[in-house]
Amino acid sequence: AQSVAQPEDQVNVAEGNPLTVKCTYSVSGNPYLFWYVQYPNRGLQFLLKYITGDNLVKGSYGFEAEFNKSQTSFHLKKPSALVSDSALYFCAVRANYGGATNKLIFGTGTLLAVQP
């Protein structure tokens, strides 16, 4: 069965410092991995994805994520945090077999708080 773990309910970081939001996954076969961000009273916005190829993927708003197959991780990173990055972040996984019907499984979410 597919699963995603986000071990931190909340991450606090000072503006200008690097940030990391952790994600580990479990899936049979090779994964498709995604990060989404949700601002208050809004829907989810797609940030980035790993499908295949380069383990370091770059996405919107300066975010990037590194796929580590041996550790089954896909941590979200940004070199310099902004106060406007404060939001709820979700990691999601989908198996890459079984056709288009495979479901997207979400983690529990990590609240990122960036202090000025």
Q: What are the φ/ψ torsions at residue 84 (nearest 5 degrees)?
A: -70, -10
Q: In this chain, which of 26, 28, 71, 108 binds another protein, going by CB under 8 A?
A: 108
Give me the 45-64 binding string for another protein, x by CB under 8 A, dash otherwise: xx--x-x-------------
Q: Is 20 in the site for another protein (CB under 8 A)?
A: no
Secondary structure E strands in 1-116: 3-5, 10-14, 19-21, 24-26, 31-38, 44-50, 56-58, 64-68, 73-78, 87-95, 105-106, 110-115
Q: Is 88 in the site for another protein (CB under 8 A)?
A: yes
Bridge partners, 91 (sequence order): 35
Rounded Cα gap, residues 106 and 6, in angstroms: 9
Q: Is 44 in the site for another protein (CB under 8 A)?
A: yes
Indicate the residue among 19 and 37 with the shorter CB distance to another protein: 37
Applying CB under 8 A, which residues contact another protein? 32, 34, 36, 41-46, 49, 51, 88, 90, 94, 100-101, 103-104, 106-109, 111
